[in-house]
Chain A
Amino acid sequence: MEILLYSAFFALLCLDRKHAFQLAISQPLITSALIGFMLNSFVPAMYFGLIIQLIWLGNLPFGASRTPEGNIASIIGCWLYVEFFNIYEMQGQFLLLTIFIYIVIISFLAGKAESYLRYINIDLFDYAFDSANGSKNPNIGKVIFAALGLQFFANWAILIISIKAGQIFLGNLVSYLTLGLSAIWQYTEIAIWAAGIGSVISVYKEIKLKKVIALLSVLCLITIKLF
């Protein structure tokens, strides 16, 4: 029951990404804090939100392009991470690795789902256009809220199914692990950070700016090492 309510809340929150308001309240840094509050486990939730935030920033939603649904995937990942980290703290890097791969796949599938809804919205558009010819006053509001409702239910379904599937998948996987293998995934966190940083730097197209970033990064590294 708890998961149904929380998923409904986050499904509503995820409308903020594209469909309504767009106040950036569905970004991982913010939703991870909310998950930490809900599951009463701030530290792992905020850690996951922090590490995953940069990954999605390089996906620019220009025009009609379809981008990975990073925000909804991050919520799923953060939820699973917090839940499993509280039981298998020693397997933190492995959890990070599997959950990260899992949410990349979810972000792809959720992107596909959104694309499918855009086709359904064509029917809503046709209905709105036809209703303008009808006898009653055209009611665009109904159509808009129908589109929002469809997106909400799609988000809700993605959240519930992905969290449940992730719980079963991770629950089975983690029970077979031994701590002796942890050296294999010890660099996962560094790789995700590097991918996130690369994703953000890719936003700056000019070579000159990339050189400035490289120079400032080295200066920052030296300063931190010295002091």
Chain B
Amino acid sequence: MRHYLVFLKVFLRSFFIQSGWNYKSLLSLGFCFSIFPVAKFLYKDDRAKLTAFVKRHLGFINGHPFFLSYALGATMRLEEEINKGNGNVDQLIKFKEALIGPLGALGDQIFWVGVKPTTFTFGVLGYFLIENINLRLTFLCVLAILYNAPHLYIRIAGLVKGYQEGLSIFRFLKADNFKFIHVFYSILGIISISFVTGWIAAKYIDYNIPAIIVFVSSLGFTLYMKSKKSKTYWAMIFPVVIALIVGLIDYII
């Protein structure tokens, strides 16, 4: 199926993979929507096969939205095999289910823990260093590239590699193969958050004891609450409460 238009359509549709997110089948609507051009390409004149194609891809699937491109690419390959009579539908369904774990774990670790926090912490650092408004606006373009370069790379490479490897894509989906992204963004992230912390401490706190108390206790409390995963909202509100209490004491004294 060296049909570049089908690849392009699947690629463009994959940007909507999370659009139909629901608690019954999670990402299956988006997955089916993304892969639908393949159905039209293979089974344009066979309505029964086209319907069967749609039904099997409305089955439960989940994973990181960018990394699901690997599943899309591999599924394209397997559907082509099925069309030629070499593939097996049950095997394809089991294969998709088995991909859920690796795709979710890899994507979450690389993007939600790595690329996203790093990019926007670096953005905050950049705002500190750049005071000119026009330069700050230009810097936003740098941030967009910093985030979307690995994003688009994974979407495109996932489709191509998935299609090339088919069932063997499992062997490729290891953290080591994405180390170059992970290491770069981890280092940049650690440097950025360290500089932001040092900068804030130097700029706002100085030798003001109440400010130091607010900063240290808020930071410590947020870290503690974040470790208790269900306390997300308290981790945001409680530092402000601490600031108000310290401010009130300062006001009274």
Assess whether A100 is interfacial by the CB under 8 Å rule: yes
Establish whether residues A144 and B240, one from each chain, have CB atoms under 8 Å apart when the complex forms: no
Q: Which of these, B15, B25, B204, B244, contacts A20 with CB under 8 Å?
A: B15
Assess whether B177 is interfacial by the CB under 8 Å rule: no
A202 to B236 Cα, complex, angstroms: 13
Establish whether residues B198 and A55, one from each chain, have CB atoms under 8 Å apart when the complex forms: no
**Whole-angstrom distance from the CB of B69 to the nearest CB of chain A?**
12
A23 to B36 Cα, complex, angstroms: 23
Question: Closest B-chain residue to A194, C-beta based?
Answer: B218
Chain B interface mostly helix, strand, loop or mixed? helix
**Whole-angstrom distance from the CB of B52 to the nearest CB of chain A?**
9
Establish whether residues A100 and B240, one from each chain, have CB atoms under 8 Å apart when the complex forms: yes
Number of interface residues of A (CB under 8 A): 90
Establish whether residues A121 and B219, one from each chain, have CB atoms under 8 Å apart when the complex forms: no
Establish whether residues B239 and A204, one from each chain, have CB atoms under 8 Å apart when the complex forms: no
Q: Interface range on chain B: under 10, 10 to 19, 20 to 34, or 35 or more? A: 35 or more
Binds A, one of B83-91, B137-145, B164-172: B137-145
Tell whether A104 pairs with B237 under 8 Å between CB atoms, given A29-B143, A46-B127, A133-B51: yes
Tell whether A59 pairs with B232 under 8 Å between CB atoms, given A122-B24, A147-B20, A184-B248: yes
B219: A residues at CB distance < 8 A: 194-195, 197-198, 201
A105 to B199 Cα, complex, angstroms: 29
Interface string of A28-47 (1 = CB under 8 A from B): 01100100000000110010
**A interface with B by C-beta (< 8 Å):** 18-25, 27, 29-30, 33, 42-43, 46, 50, 53-55, 57-64, 67-68, 97, 100-101, 104, 108, 118-119, 121-122, 124-126, 128-129, 132-133, 137-138, 140-141, 143-145, 147-148, 151, 181, 183-195, 197-204, 209, 212-213, 215-221, 223-225
In the assembled complex, 27 residue pairs joining A and B whose CB atoms fall closer than 8 Å, in A order, are: A24-B119, A24-B148, A25-B144, A29-B140, A33-B137, A50-B127, A57-B117, A60-B112, A62-B112, A64-B62, A101-B240, A104-B237, A125-B28, A125-B58, A137-B47, A145-B19, A148-B19, A184-B247, A188-B244, A195-B219, A195-B236, A198-B239, A199-B226, A213-B190, A213-B194, A216-B195, A220-B195
**B interface with A by C-beta (< 8 Å):** 15-16, 18-26, 28-30, 32-33, 36, 47, 50-51, 54-55, 58, 62, 65-66, 104, 108, 112-113, 116-117, 119-121, 123-124, 127, 133, 136-137, 140, 143-144, 147-148, 151, 189-191, 193-205, 210-211, 214-216, 218-223, 226-227, 232-233, 235-237, 239-240, 242-244, 246-248, 250-251
